[in-house]
């Protein structure tokens, strides 16, 4: 893998690399990932828009430390800042300690990117109060006027895999309802009860909301339906809702239908309900599908597509080179 890392580093320096992705099946260690991130930081590269790494053995706190430095390299008026249109950084199944997670969160307020900033993060270690406090500081600093000028452009956060307490789930929901940066939120396997979901959607912050495996039931669907109803007055921005792997029955679907029917000016056009507690009676699902079809959208109750087919343009264990160079 030493040769591969060297090749990637050279490609980064010449702006030939567009995306980098590794997982546990690839022969790379934490030092290799650290070296790549350090070159990304020092080279003023403008071509890489995606770096995703999966695996506890290759995601150490040293990687988190260098990722934070990488984000901060976007904080001045450089060619990189002016040219870069998007950046997606993902660390899955990491073994970051609490301080490593905090480094990444705190660095985001200095990341002055023009386009979309996407962070994907999950860890074997708990998501604790200090992580929540650091994320809060990052997302709310510009609104309170505290600390350094907040250039945070984070608009999509995918977070999951953490062990969490009910207090953390409640605090996270409250934070998401107050912040204004994130418009696309994906949670995976967080225990979000109906009250937390009510708070989460209360201020209509999201265009895209994914609550896969978050113990969403019929009562929570009734809460979400109230967000659809607010679309009648043009308040809600929610366009896509993913509720896969939960405990929703036809009753929950009927709540969603009622919400959409009461939102004449609504923008919701896609709902996913894969792997829920449907009994096989398709009447409610057909009604929901037809409602969304009228809006040019769709619903899904089929098995969720495999991640590789969703990613599409990222090649596992390798790089994608910019053929236009």
Between 252 and 162, where is the model more confident?
Answer: 252
Sequence spans of domains, the chain: 2-306
Q: Of 212-216, 234-238, 320-324, give the lowest mean pLDDT range.
A: 320-324
Question: Do the Cβ atoms of 154 and 124 come closer than 8 Å?
Answer: no
Q: Of 17-21, 43-47, 230-234, 315-319, give the lowest mean pLDDT range.
A: 315-319
Q: Of 22-31, 72-81, 311-320, give the lowest mean pLDDT range.
A: 311-320
Neighbours of 64 (CB within 10 A): 25
Question: Do the Cβ atoms of 136 and 142 come closer than 8 Å?
Answer: no
User: With pLDDT > 90 as the criterion, what percentage of the chain qualifies?
Assistant: 38
**Tens of pLDDT along 257-312?**
999 888 877 788 899 999 999 887 788 999 999 888 887 766 665 543 333 222 22
Q: Of 45-49, 143-147, 222-226, give the lowest mean pLDDT range.
A: 143-147
Structural fold of domain 2-306 = 3.80.10
The one-character DSSP state at 109 is G
Q: What is the pLDDT of residue 315?
A: 26
- CA dihedral in degrees (300, 244, 262, 284; nearest 10)? 60
178, pLDDT greater than 50: yes
Using DSSP, state whether 300 is helix, strand or coil.
strand
Q: What is the DSSP string of 46-108?
A: -S--EEEEE-GGG--HHHHHHHHHHHHTTSSS-HHHHH--EEEEEEEEE---HHHHHHHHHHG
Between 122 and 35, where is the model more confident?
Answer: 35
Angle between helix axes 218-230 and 194-201 (nearest 10 degrees) is 10
Question: What is the average pLDDT score of the chain?
Answer: 81
Supply 33's token pair: 């990932």
Q: What is the pLDDT of residue 78?
A: 61
Distance CA 84, CA 162 (A): 31
Q: Please count the residues of the chain.
A: 325
**Tens of pLDDT along 236-271?**
688 999 999 999 999 999 999 999 888 877 788 899
37, pLDDT greater than 90: yes
Looking at the DSSP assignment, which residues form a beta bridge with residue 19?
A: 50, 320
Q: What is the pLDDT of residue 231?
A: 57
């Amino acid at each position: 893998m030493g040769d591969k890392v060297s090749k990637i580093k050279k490609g980064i320096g010449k702006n030939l690399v567009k995306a980098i992705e590794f997982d546990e099946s690839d022969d790379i260690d934490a030092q290799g990932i650290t070296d790549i991130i350090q070159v990304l930081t020092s080279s003023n590269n403008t071509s890489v828009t995606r770096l995703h790494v999966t695996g506890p053995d290759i995601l150490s706190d040293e990687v988190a430390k260098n990722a934070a430095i990488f984000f901060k390299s976007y904080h001045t008026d450089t060619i990189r800042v002016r040219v870069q249109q998007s950046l997606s950084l993902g660390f899955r199944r990491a073994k970051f300690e609490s301080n490593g997670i905090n480094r990444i969160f705190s660095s985001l307020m200095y990341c002055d990117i023009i386009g979309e900033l996407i962070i994907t993060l999950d860890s074997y270690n708990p998501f604790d109060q200090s992580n929540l406090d650091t994320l809060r500081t990052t997302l709310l600093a510009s609104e309170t006027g505290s600390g350094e000028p907040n250039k945070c452009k984070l608009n999509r956060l995918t977070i999951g895999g953490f062990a969490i307490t009910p207090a953390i789930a409640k605090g996270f929901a409250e934070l998401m309802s107050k912040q204004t940066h994130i418009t696309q939120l994906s949670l995976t396997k967080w225990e979000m009860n109906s009250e937390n979901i009510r708070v989460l959607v209360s201020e209509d912050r999201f265009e895209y909301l994914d609550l896969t495996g978050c113990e969403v039931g019929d009562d929570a669907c009734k809460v979400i339906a109230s967000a659809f109803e607010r679309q009648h007055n043009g308040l809600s921005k929610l366009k896509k809702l993913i509720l896969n792997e939960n405990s929703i029955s036809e009753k929950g679907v009927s709540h969603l239908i009622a919400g959409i029917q009461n939102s004449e000016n609504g923008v919701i056009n896609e709902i996913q309900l894969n792997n829920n507690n449907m009994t096989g009676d398709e009447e409610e699902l057909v009604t929901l599908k037809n409602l969304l079809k009228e809006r040019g959208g769709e619903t899904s109750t089929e098995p969720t597509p495999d991640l590789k087919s969703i990613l599409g343009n990222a090649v596992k264990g390798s790089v994608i080179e910019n053929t236009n160079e």
